[in-house]
Amino acid sequence: MTYRNQFDKELEELKISLIHMGDMVIKHINEGFQSFLSLDSSLAQSIIEKDKLVNEQEYKIEKECMRIILREQPVAKDLRLITAVLKMITDLERIGDHAADISKMTIFMENTHHHFETKQAGLITKACAKMISQALESFVNNDIELAYEVIREDDIVDNYFEEIKNAVANAIRSSSIDADYALYLMMVAKYLERIGDHAVNIAEWVIFSITGEHKKLNPI
């Protein structure tokens, strides 16, 4: 195996590790939201505890990136790719934190009386998971158009968030929602909206890895 082939193999393994981390946080988001809907405190607690696995994966990837940089001294596109990975794992770790935060809302809600549902909460969760998956897919395939599509999809997440806010506000005015539950639901929606922002960050770093330009389209 030539030096270049070995180096390419290391970069591919780095991508695989990143995808694994992404799959972990997507699973935690979906399970965290499910725990909230069903008030399943056992599931919520398990997600909170599993957040350490996301942190461990971040450390593992960061360590591997630094090893490659020190040993291979990559330049140009190779260096951009590794830099992008280092940035993306930070966003994935924050997404994992938000999944744990959603699960904490489930535990806080144990003594509330909830009977209010909004379909937008489920839709925003699916939209966020899709954005993360597509952002990572765009990285693996060097698909800049898909990365830009992820950035555009953040508008959908923002719209769902606004719809949830309006629905909760109307329910509060009509006294058809428990006050504590309204607060926790809004916090969950905000965590999901932030997850969408982190997915945009990942897409921005994909674009950087391909073009060498990092245009900040997100305030995070």
**116-158, pLDDT tens digit by residue?**
677 899 999 999 999 999 999 999 999 999 999 999 999 999 9
In the chain, what percentage of residues exceed pLDDT 70?
95
pTM, whole model, 2 decimals?
Answer: 0.93
For 147-192, the pLDDT digits (tens) are: 999 999 999 999 999 999 999 999 999 988 888 888 999 999 999 9
144-173 helix and 179-211 helix, angle to the nearest 10 degrees: 170
Q: Return the closest-CA partner of residue 49 out of 76, 31, 23.
A: 31
Q: How confident is the model at residue 197 (pLDDT cuts 50, 70, 90)?
A: very high
Please give the pLDDT value at position 115: 63
- Residue 199, pLDDT above cutoff 70: yes
Please give the pLDDT value at position 123: 95
Residue ranges of domains in the chain: 3-211
Please give the pLDDT value at position 116: 67
Q: How confident is the model at residue 214 (pLDDT cuts 50, 70, 90)?
A: confident
CATH number of the domain located at residue range(s) 3-211 in this protein: 1.20.58.220
